[in-house]
């Protein structure tokens, strides 16, 4: 499906899917979820771009990459939302890759740590970001359980290299 064609369509959505609310009652959450469930892909992409935080939170977990990537491209998304998605283990690697491409979000050290600790972050990105972590965070990463083994091994190796450099400086 052509992305430009999707963005040209003008679909009107119920106000509970577009307007921001502070607290969403549980029964309203279910109805929003049920409304989204019956939508087509182009409607979901439109809603991802125009919808409220609640709708984006549901759509970011959509198995279709067009839909979940549209959430990250939404002009309404905040850095706090992106951080929550970066910490979430049930978003796709594509969402995490798109988050990592936004320079203004990647200035946040908390975002960097969240992405490195997320097992779904592509390994190449995690390895690259690990180099920007402080010593304690790398040590924590080396002991972490839910991350790829290659990342943990790389963190251990980095700790050993730093220790070796400190030994050389002493002598």
More confident residue, 81 or 164: 81
pLDDT of residue 47: 94
Residue 130 scores a pLDDT above 70:
yes
Whether residue 64 is found in the same domain as residue 136: no
Whether residue 48 is found in the same domain as residue 116: no
Whether residue 125 is found in the same domain as residue 58: no
Whether residue 99 is found in the same domain as residue 66: no
Q: What tens digit of pLDDT does each residue of 51-81 get?
A: 999 999 999 999 999 999 999 999 999 999 9
From 77, 92, 112, the end of a domain falls on 77
Inter-residue contact 104 to 79 (CB < 8 Å): yes
Helix axes 93-100, 123-130, angle to 10 degrees: 40
Give the structural domain span for 101: 78-171
Name the domain count of the chain: 2
Q: What tens digit of pLDDT does each residue of 86-113 get?
A: 999 999 999 999 999 999 999 999 999 9
From 46, 77, 108, the end of a domain falls on 77
From 62, 77, 92, the end of a domain falls on 77
Whether residue 113 is found in the same domain as residue 64: no
Whether residue 54 is found in the same domain as residue 97: no
Whether residue 58 is found in the same domain as residue 83: no
Whether residue 58 is found in the same domain as residue 114: no
Would the pTM of this model clear 0.85, i.e. be above it?
A: no
pLDDT of residue 5: 46
Whether residue 96 is found in the same domain as residue 169: yes
Average pLDDT of every residue of the chain: 87
Whether residue 118 is found in the same domain as residue 146: yes
pLDDT of residue 12: 74
């Amino acid at each position: 499906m052509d992305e430009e064609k999707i963005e040209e369509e003008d679909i009107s959505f119920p106000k509970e899917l577009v307007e921001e609310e502070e607290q969403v009652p549980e029964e309203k959450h279910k109805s929003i979820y049920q409304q989204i469930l019956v939508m087509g892909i182009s409607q979901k992409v439109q809603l991802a771009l125009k919808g409220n935080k609640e709708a984006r939170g549901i759509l970011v977990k959509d198995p279709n990459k067009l839909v979940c990537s549209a959430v990250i491209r939404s002009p309404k998304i905040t850095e706090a939302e992106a951080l929550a998605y970066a910490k979430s283990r049930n978003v796709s690697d594509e969402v995490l890759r798109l988050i990592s491409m936004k320079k203004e979000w990647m200035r946040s050290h908390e975002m960097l740590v969240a992405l490195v600790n997320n097992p779904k972050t592509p390994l190449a990105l995690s390895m690259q970001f690990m180099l920007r972590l402080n010593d304690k965070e790398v040590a924590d990463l080396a002991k972490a359980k839910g991350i790829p083994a290659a990342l943990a091994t790389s963190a251990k190796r980095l700790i050993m290299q730093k220790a070796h450099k400190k030994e050389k400086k002493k002598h």
